[in-house]
Amino acid sequence: MRILIDMQGTQSPTSKNRGVGRYTLEMAKALIAVAQSKHEILLVANGSFPESLEQIRKEFKNCLPPKNIKCWQQHANPVAGIDGNSWRKSAAELSREWYLSQLHGDIIWSTNLQEGWFDSAVTSVKRIPSNSLWCTTLHDVIPLLYPEKYLSTHIKSWYEEKIAFAKKSDVILTVSEYSKREICRLLKVNQKKVVVATNAYNPEIFNSHSIDFTCCADIVGDVKPEKYVLYTGGADDHKNLHRLISAFGLLPPNLKTDYSLVMVGGDVKGQEQHLRALAFESGIEDRNLVFTGFVSDHQLVNLYSCCALLVHPAYSEGFGLPVLEALATGAPVIGADAASIPEIIDYEDALFDPFNVIEMATKIESVLTNRQFRINLIEKGKKRAAEFSWLVSARRVCEAFENAQDKHRIRKTYSFAYESLIRRIGKIGGSYSTTDLVNTARSIAESTIPNASVRTCYVDLSCLVHFDHATGIQRVVRAIASVLFDTKNSEIFFAPIFSYAGHTHFYHVATRDGKFEVPDEAKLGQHRVDFKDGDIILLLDLHPGSAISKASEIQNIRNRGVLLYFVLYDLIPLSHPQYFVEQLSDEFGQWVRTLIMSDGVLCISEDVASKLKEFISRNALVPSVNFKIRHFHLGADLASSVPSAGLPPGAAEALSTIKKSKSFLMVGTVEPRKGHSLVLDAFEALWDRGDELVLVIVGREGWRNEETIERLRRSPENSKRLFWLEGISDEYLEKVYAACTCLIAASEAEGFGLPLIEAAKHGLPIIARNLDVFREVAGDHAFYFDGISPSDLVLAIDAWLGLLEGDKHPKSEGMQLLTWADSAAQLLQAMDIYQ
């Protein structure tokens, strides 16, 4: 059985910090614990509350696969409390149900239908044909009991519609026997349809094991522990707060002076001015009345633990979760002898008539002055609280679902198509605007779940399609992309995409004769990629600035069920900022903060992965919940990387000179960190002493290296003992590797060191700076040097030449070499792409 749980109760501002929010969260966790072994459970969230998605992922990280958390998109503004939006509300309800139908749930469970009056939550039941069974939790029907207080003309029709939806449900859950009686009586539904699964508490949070007096002081100021009477909850009329204040005002003067009344809750804080006026009329000093506003669970536990008494005066209550939490924490609790409260407390001496202010005051006074009574309340309360469990309640829910499923007989098979949804939306009455249509269309488009059995992995080639320098990262991108696009796989289809810096969206790339074609910028809208649930995005080649501009879109894409991974080549602008302009280093730091919003970063070496973890830790960054850092290694076969071809004039002569000499090769863009200046200084020293060694530099001109560039261009050794081969083809580079004697890798920082494995593929020995990443790549198959002066490198070259004479130099032939196909396979494995 597949169970879909609507998580809006933990998302909407109205419910997330109240009992409904706790019920939704805890019941979902408990149901997963008791039912996941035999049933599939999916959590369904509302995308119009994007900030809550990460919290949901965090709460369920250890108990539910990430793919089981779904999100439908809501771009309209269906808030019921706004006049003139009935069309938007109806369109949103239909769109939501259509999304749910695509998930093919056997049970669709809404933990609270009364959502959406003040916000963009959307709830409805069976507005479109469905094979699913629908379950609704009705926590209470208090508005029907007191319509004159809660069902004004404006809200009456909205609430009655929600009740009608509940009646259409196949199963109604509620949280107390009292609520069940009232539901059956007022809604006139069969009592067999209504199942009681009570609220409970989390014993890991609500217990009396530890008390943090400092925490209490931070909340209530100078009020001392055990010198305050506590109320926590809402501020609705049935909460009876005006009588609580009156009762506190009737306490003897010494108690009214020694004790304070502490009132907890966001809604209560909103009524502070009104309630202080009532307190003043009741003779309560302003300093003896404290309003805390919303508090965290940790703060709430300590408030329970340190209070002299918790009073719950509500004359109507579906359950009264604060009562149970306080009992579990070890607080003495008294409550109204009304509605569901006696079911929880189950101790007659702890109850009072909620309409009798004198009786309430007397009961408060008894607890504050009678030590034995207080002890009895605590002892009986703890025993009573132990009888409540979310797991027990979840088993009742699961049993109710299973019973309903056993009785369910499908008479007609519905396949509710997209076209049917559009027709129904077209029949909605009321006015709408062009914006309403656009937002609804966008919601539907982004909530479409593809039926295809083959998932799409979109591979970003943004830099490559705009400029391909055919070196460094571009060679890696070309190689891996080539392998992926040639992959024949029944599960994953790989497709190229690109974007522009500053653009929010990605676009399809066309290919012609093996080359990428970028669409006309004026027609980009026609080529925009609409990502769907189940898609994967591999940002293989996205410029940092472009990624930063897409930060909000990255969150939006992930919330739609799309997996998104970045490839990280290095962190050099952060580790060696002296080689970059300040703006770029700052941008790189901001980019890392964007990277960690994704599902993961795939680093080209373990060293880069380690440095990324260190940076995140050092800067106290908080990644997305399911964020992972993995690494893979690069390939060495140039022939498989879509190599460029062609030899320039004079190539044959240069290769001849290189081949007949002891020639040392450097490969990489000529920029400061690569160590070209150091190597040139060392070789000039070697040449000055008469050594006939050749230095070959392959790489384009980089930036901020004007002095070295000028030395290379004006060197008297050009085409003699120095060859600078700028922007040569891969074909020419292969021949250079084959002609040289040794590779020199003198970089002060690298993400991998691709030339090392390319050299090893040709059996070319290696002299490398003693970097962790070079040791990771080459192991014992390279000769390493330390130091930053030319003389250090001269000594290293002399030592290596001595080893070469005796054939004792480290051989590169033993290095582990990957093909680009191997590298791409490692990359996909790091992504868990086939999970």
User: Any idea which residue has 């060197």 for tokens?
Assistant: 715
Residue with token string 């656009």: 438
Helix (H, G, I), strand (E, B) or coil at 456: strand
What's phi and psi for 690, nearest 5 deg?
A: 100, 5
Encoded amino acid at 434, one letter: T
Sign of CA dihedral 516, 519, 525, 527: negative
Positive or negative torsion for Cα 519, 524, 526, 530: positive
Beta pairing partners, 696: 665, 723
Q: Is the distance from CB of 641 to CB of 475 less than 8 angstroms?
A: yes
Contact 753, 729 (CB under 8 A): no
Whole-angstrom Cα distance, residue 521 to residue 534?
28
At residue 334, the 3 state secondary structure works out as: strand
Helix (H) or strand (E) holding 378: helix 371-385
pLDDT computed for residue 714 by the predictor: 94
**CA–CA separation, 13 and 754 (whole Å):** 52
Distances (CA, A) of 769 to 255, 573, 710, 744, 765: 78, 19, 25, 8, 14
Within 10 angstroms of residue 668's Cβ, the number of other Cβ atoms is: 23
Q: What is the pLDDT of residue 84?
A: 66
Give 647-817's CATH code, choosing from 3.40.50.300, 3.40.630.10, 3.40.50.2000, 3.40.190.10: 3.40.50.2000
Distance CA 4, CA 110 (A): 9
The domains of the chain are located at: 2-199+411-446, 213-385, 455-635, 647-817
| Alpha-carbon span 819 to 486, nearest angstrom | 14
Q: How many CA atoms lie within 13 A of 792 on its CB side?
A: 13
How many angstroms separate the CA atoms of 317 and 645, rounded?
Answer: 79
Measured CA to CA in angstroms, residue 755 lies from 642, 699, 733, 751 at distances of 17, 11, 11, 12
Largest CA distance in the chain: 109
According to DSSP, residue 811 is labeled P
Residue 474 Ramachandran class (φ > 0 left, ψ -120 to 50 alpha, else beta): alpha
Residues of the chain predicted below pLDDT 50: none
Q: Encoding tokens for residue 66?
A: 């990430």
Q: Which residue has the tokens 């797991």?
A: 391
Rounded to whole angstroms, how far apart are CA atoms 332 and 380?
A: 9
Residue with tokens 């579906």: 318
Q: Per the structure block, which two tokens stand in for 364? A: 């408060």
The residues facing 173 across adjacent strands are 137, 195
The Cα–Cα gap between 26 and 389 comes to 10
Question: Distance (Å, rounded) from C-alpha 120 to C-alpha 97?
Answer: 15
Output the CA torsion sign for 340, 345, 346, 352: negative
Instruction: Return the sign of the alpha-carbon dihedral for residues 779, 781, 786, 789.
Output: negative
Tell me the Cα Rg of the chain.
Answer: 35
Cα separation of 547 and 594, whole Å?
A: 7
CA dist 756 and 761 (Å) reads: 9
Structure tokens at 344: 């929880």
Supply the pTM of this predicted model. Answer: 0.87
Question: Which CATH number describes the domain made up of 213-385?
Answer: 3.40.50.2000
CATH 1.10.1740, applies to 455-635: no
Residue 470's pLDDT is what?
A: 55
CA distance 95 to 88: 10
Task: Give the integer Cα–Cα distance in Å for 187 and 334.
Answer: 31
What is the identity of the amino acid at 68? N
**Identical topology for domains 2-199+411-446 and 213-385:** yes
Q: Which CATH architecture describes the domain 2-199+411-446?
A: 3-Layer(aba) Sandwich (3.40)
Positive or negative, the CA dihedral 654, 660, 662, 665 is positive
Say what the pLDDT of residue 274 is: 96
CA distance 29 to 819: 45
If residue 263 lies in a helix (H) or strand (E), which one and from where to where? strand 260-264
Are the C-beta atoms of residues 4 and 105 closer than 8 Å to each other?
yes
Q: What angle do CA 826, 829, 832 make, to 5 degrees?
A: 155
Q: Is 244 in contact with 323 (CB distance < 8 Å)? A: no
